[in-house]
Amino acid sequence: MKIHPVPVIAIDGPSASGKGTIAQRVANELNYHYLDSGALYRLVALKAMQCHTDLTDQTTLATMATQLDVVFAAGTVRLEGTIVADAIRTEQCGILASKIAAYPPVRDALLSRQHAFRLPPGLVTDGRDMGSVVFPDATLKIFLTASAEVRAERRYKQLKEKGISATIPDLLQDIQKRDARDRNRSVAPLQQNSDARILDTTSLSVIQVLNKVIAWYTEVCASK
């Protein structure tokens, strides 16, 4: 495999495992670019809801993904000029995004967009298949996980802080369903690569996880 000059740290894992928080913190620490791959699927889902698109029409959804007018800048997300950072984080949008992400045409349509984020000095990205499919040559691959119960509690706190109503039992059920859907989809299923380092965050703080990832990356870079 040809070695790409721009390093990538790929952080994969199930929903609400803390991937986004950690990836952003690592990117800030290293002054690298950051890609939230899940946001791209959530944006397609949001656009589909706005247009009342048939969510089983894979061809239309793929076209929508290709033509998506989105800008990631200054810590926020704009869809066709409108800030949608909160809108794409609703549970409804997340559930629809998980379903749409199982469609091969949509995944193919978004692949080049994801590759375009690989710019100097480096990239930190999180998702379900960043290390297995999108960036198989990533410098460091991490599979971040936590118990479903802890992930439901974390998601509950996030939603509560945003003033969004939710219950832990309902969130736990949604997370378990999403896990099953992500693991069993035919294209790019959620899985731990043999060359990925697993990190269970169930009993760890954000700082502890951040320090571990930075330490692993330093170790990998020193060995090259």
Annotated binding site for ATP: 13-21
Q: Which residue's structure tokens are 């076209």?
A: 63
Alpha-carbon gap, residue 84 to 199, rounded angstroms: 31
Concatenating the DSSP letter of every residue in 43-70 gives HHHHHHHHTT--TT-HHHHHHHHHT--E
Could you tell me which residues are annotated as the binding site? 13-21
**Phi, psi of 88, deg, nearest 5:** -80, -5
Give per-residue burial for 93-121: e unless 16+ CB within 10 Å, then b: bbbbbbebbbbebbbebbeeebeebbeee
What are the structure tokens assigned to 165, written together?
């109503």
